[in-house]
Structure 1
Amino acid sequence: MLFSFWSGGVTWMERLCVASAKAIGEEIVVFTYEDPETLSDKLGCRVLDAASVFSTSDREELLRLGAPHFSDLFRLEGIAQGCGTWTDLDVIYVKPLPESEYVFGWQNEDRIGNSVLRLPPDSELLKRYLAFCRKRPMHRFVMPWMPWPTKCSRLIKGIGAAAIGVRLPAPKYGPAALTYFAKLCEADRLALPSKVLYPLPIRGPAIKHVLEPGFVESLIAPETVCVHLWRSTFDGVHGFALPKTGWLADRVDALLPALREPAVSL
């Protein structure tokens, strides 16, 4: 089973993610701190109370560091509690996920992505990764996965910031941290090639061409399971108007034809 978290407004992208998961035979459940029934109607899937996974007090503590910190930890807590395979809601599925115990993949040449993540709840990788994150070590200037130039730079900036009474932005524990702990546990060898989960690169100009006819199709290989759309970057380039051209428009027409009707409101 796939699981995710959502808060705030719903766009065609989240609805398409859910519809694409259903189309490949996956059950998907989304957690929220908002009204589950309202969100369920918008997304088209089962929605549960996120407090059953992560308390509201813990959530508020993490949100002070930023939404990504909460999201990164929520998925780990959910996996540890047996919720299933995590998916971001900007992932469009084209075929079923592998049945392996571990499902994660390289998002580029040096980082393992956490947008689609399956780990055994009792695995050394999850235990070590989650134990570190539960310590809330975000007050540190540096993290063990940072390269030495970054560590030195943050130390210098951190000391300077402390001298004037401000704090550096807290380091995130997403893909860079996952990559670090995967290597530490010798599980990085299990990471799937980028073409499987991340055929659309976040770096470079590719995201600009996503709505062009034939472009996404040219990135999808026989082994591709899904296309991660990099929601924030996508929004900055294209916004969230309903796609009218290209592969995404075709997916909307095939899986969510009602969205083309003028009366539909997200």
Structure 2
Amino acid sequence: MVDINAFWFGPRLGAVHAACLKSFVRHGYTVRLHVYEPPTDLPEGVELFDAEQLMKRSELVSHGKTGSYALASDKYRYRILRAGLGIYVDADVYCLKPLPERNYLIGWENDKAVNGAVLAAPSDSRLVAYLNDVFLDRSFIPPWERKSRRHKLMLKKAIGLAADPTSMPWGTYGPALITHAVKSFGLEAEILPIDTFYPLHCSQLSLLYDADMTLADITTQRTCVVHLYNFLLPDRAIPETSPLGRMLAGKA
């Protein structure tokens, strides 16, 4: 069984992230949490990995507009793949059953784009090389941007004012980049259906709090994991019998 890897920066995981990591442990995976400093609420059975081995702490940058460390997480997950350590998962991905045994693990999030919350690819693949190389290109211009936007970025590049990654739109180096790459390299056949990893759209998160709902109501037979979009979860009471309540209790 291929190992599971997640990246974390901060003093505490919190209930949702801890429950998600434990869900992979319960399904027999070796789970590595890549950190600079251990969180105080590390779940039993989760191993620690020194993130400095793959990315110096000085490279830990946040998104300029939101302050989120998603940009650093994008960069780090591609390093995990390049190092051949196994499967990358976001810390808010809850495991319901073992993942498919495939060279590529990439899933559609909607009809047009993939997400990188669950990601695996051969370490020597063109996909992994490209995803890592983009972060080395300080003058990267997203090919999928509208023509006027690309022209503006090219003009800035010409006068030595290349766009900083932290100033680019949210998701540029994450889902947008992965979507562009898999399509460019003809990997669409490797992309798994929406309900495999992302059965619940981020606009439907209130269903997780419904005391009369079960996980069976929001998943299919193909669903292996549920991405919980933790940063978008409503801040309200979680009924014990709700899908999220059962996940937190390890009963899902």
Tell me which interval the TM-score lies in, with the shorter structure as reference length. Answer: 0.7 to 0.9
Tell me the distance in 2 between the aligned counterparts of 1:90 and 1:64. 19
How far the C-alpha of 1:189 sits from its partner, in A, is 2.0
Tell me the distance in 2 between the aligned counterparts of 1:73 and 1:33. 15
Task: Quote the residue 1:249 is aligned against.
Answer: 245
Q: TM-score when scaled to structure 1?
A: 0.79
Tell me the distance in 2 between the aligned counterparts of 1:87 and 1:49. 17
**Percent of aligned positions with the same letter in both sequences?**
26
Tell me the distance in 1 between the aligned counterparts of 2:63 and 2:25. 34
| Amino acid of the structure 1 residue aligned with 2:248 | V
Q: Please tell me whether the aligned partners of residues 16 and 248 of structure 2 are also in contact (alpha carbons under 8 angstroms).
A: no
Q: Which runs of 4+ in 1 moved over 4 A?
A: none
Select 2:207's aligned residue among 198, 201, 209.
209
Tell me the distance in 2 between the aligned counterparts of 1:254 and 1:215. 14
Larger displacement relative to structure 2 (45-54 or 214-223): 214-223
What's the CA shift string for 1:64-101, capped at 9, x where partnerless? 75512111010001110122100001111101001100
Select 2:110's aligned residue among 88, 108, 111.
108
Q: TM-score when scaled to structure 2?
A: 0.83
Alignment of 1:133-172 (within 5 A): 133-137=135-139, 142-148=141-147, 151=149, 155=152, 169-171=167-169, 172=172
Tell me the distance in 2 between the aligned counterparts of 1:242 and 1:29. 28
What's the CA shift string for 1:191-235, capped at 9, x where partnerless? 100000000112x3x11222113154312100100000111111x
Tell me the distance in 1 between the aligned counterparts of 2:101 and 2:127. 18
Is 1:124 equivalent to 2:120 in the alignment? Answer: no
Tell me the distance in 1 between the aligned counterparts of 2:71 and 2:129. 18
Give unpaired runs (5+ residues) of structure 2.
157-163
Q: Please tell me whether the aligned partners of residues 209 and 244 of structure 2 are also in contact (alpha carbons under 8 angstroms).
A: yes
Alignment length (residue pairs): 235
| Amino acid of the structure 1 residue aligned with 2:52 | A
Alignment of 1:1-266 (within 5 A): 1-8=3-10, 9-34=12-37, 36=38, 38-39=39-40, 42-44=42-44, 45-59=46-60, 62-63=61-62, 65=64, 66=67, 67-137=69-139, 142-148=141-147, 151=149, 155=152, 169-171=167-169, 172-202=172-202, 204=203, 206-212=204-210, 213-214=212-213, 216-234=215-233, 237-238=234-235, 243-254=239-250
How far the C-alpha of 1:147 sits from its partner, in A, is 4.0
Tell me the distance in 2 between the aligned counterparts of 1:80 and 1:243. 41
**3-state SS of paired residue (2:180):** helix
Tell me the distance in 2 between the aligned counterparts of 1:119 and 1:104. 8
Give unpaired runs (5+ residues) of structure 1.
160-166, 257-266
How far the C-alpha of 1:30 sits from its partner, in A, is 0.4
How far the C-alpha of 1:53 sits from its partner, in A, is 1.0
Between Structure 1 and Structure 2, the one with more helix by share is 1
Q: Please tell me whether the aligned partners of residues 63 and 71 of structure 2 are also in contact (alpha carbons under 8 angstroms).
A: no
